[in-house]
Amino acid sequence: MAQIPDGALGETETVAAGVRVAAPGRLHFGFLDLHGGLGRRFGSIGLALDTPAISLTARPSPNLTITGPEAERARSYALAAAGYLGIAGHAALRIEETMPAHAGFGSGTQLALSVAAALAGLDGRAFAPEAFANALDRGNRSGIGLAAFTQGGLIVDGGRDGLGTPPPLIARLAYPEDWRIVLILDTSMTGVHGSREVEAFRDLPRFPESQAAEICRIVLMQVLPAAATAEPEGFGAGITTIQRLIGDHFAPHQGGRYASPAVAEALGAIAAQGVAGYGQSSWGPTGFALMPSEDAARQLVASLQRPGPLQFLIARGRNTGASVTPL
C-alpha cells in the first residue's frame, strides 16, 4: 500500500488493472485568525478521521464513466484533474464509499483529491496534491483537508496570504490512539456552503484581534501540548473554548452557535455530563464530542440515542494520509 507522502505520489508505470484510493474524512475545529492583521487570514486546526471516509477504484476505459454515490460531483473533479494533467482522463471510476456532503467532513476536498490521485495513478503520473488545490478549487480558506489527505493526524495550517497558494502546514501531531471522537450527524439538513458561505465571509464583521490572539495562544500553549502528552481534559477544554469563540462569530449565518437545533440539544446534554471537549465541525451540522477511550465513547452514545434525525458514529483519529493501492 502506498501512502501519499508529504506531497507526491511518484511517477510509476501505468497500472493496467487499475488503482484503489482510500482517503480520510476530517473535522475542522476552528480558525486561528479571522482578523488577518498580520498578513495571513484564517489558519485552521483540524483532525483526520478513520470514518467517514472515501474509497474508490479506477480502471482503464475507452471513455470516462463514473458510478456510485456523488457521481456527478466526481465527474466535475475528474474533468478538472484531467485538464490539469493534460490527459484524456478516460477511466471507469467506481465510488464505493463516500461521506455526507456539506456536513463538516471536507467531503468535496477528499473526493476531488481522490479522483485526481486515481487518474494520475492510471496514467503513471506523479501526483502532488498541493498542485491540484487551485485546479480543483479546493483549500480556499483551510489547508486541513489537504493535509489530512497527505499526512493525516492533528493538523494546524498557517492561513492564506495574498498570493493564492494553499495554506502552509505549520504543525502536525499524531492523535492519541486511545482517544475517540463521537460524531453527531443530523441527517435532516446540510451546513452552509457554496454561495451562502461566500456571502457569510463577506458580510460578517471583522473578527476581534484580541479573540484571534486568544485562540492562537490556546492552540499553541494548551491544545497542542495536551495532544503531545495525551492529556484529554486540557485538549478538550481548549477545543471547546475555540468553538465558543468561532461559533458565536458565525451565529448570524447559521442560526446560533451550532447550525442544527438537534445537534445543539445533544451538545448541551454532553456538556451537562461534564465532557470537556465538544463542538461543531466547520459549518456543521455535524457535532462532535472528544472522548478519552472507546468505553467512554460507547457510554456517551448510549446516553444520547433517542428517536429523531440524529445518528452517532464513533471514530478514531487517523494518523496516516490517503492510500493508493494497485488493483
Each residue's pLDDT tens digit, 270-288: 999 999 999 999 988 999 9
Determine the average pLDDT of the residues in 214-226: 98
Residue 121 has pLDDT above 50, yes or no: yes
Higher pLDDT, 129 or 24: 24
Residue ranges of alpha helices (H) inside the chain are 71-85, 107-122, 129-135, 144-150, 195-203, 209-218, 224-228, 232-254, 261-272, 294-304
Q: For the chain, what is the domain count?
A: 1
Residue 313 has pLDDT above 90, yes or no: yes
Nearest Cα to Cα of residue 114 among 13, 25, 47: 25
Higher pLDDT, 83 or 180: 180
Count CA within 13 A, CB hemisphere, residue 96. Answer: 10
Over pLDDT 70: what percentage of the chain?
Answer: 90
Domain region containing 321: 2-326
Q: What is the CATH number for 77?
A: 3.30.230.10
Confidence of residue 162 (pLDDT cuts 50, 70, 90): confident
Determine the average pLDDT of the residues in 229-240: 98
pLDDT, residue 192, reads 64
Dihedral (CA of 96, 191, 35, 156) sign? negative
pTM above 0.85, yes or no: yes
**3-class secondary-structure state, position 20:** strand
Residue 286 and residue 243: Cα distance in Å, rounded? Answer: 13
- Give phi and psi for 51, each to the nearest 5: -155, 140
**Is residue 141 a contact partner of residue 34, using CB atoms and an 8 Å limit?**
no
Confidence of residue 151 (pLDDT cuts 50, 70, 90): very high
pLDDT in tens, 28-47: 999 999 999 999 999 999 99
Query: What rounded mean pLDDT belongs to the chain?
Result: 90
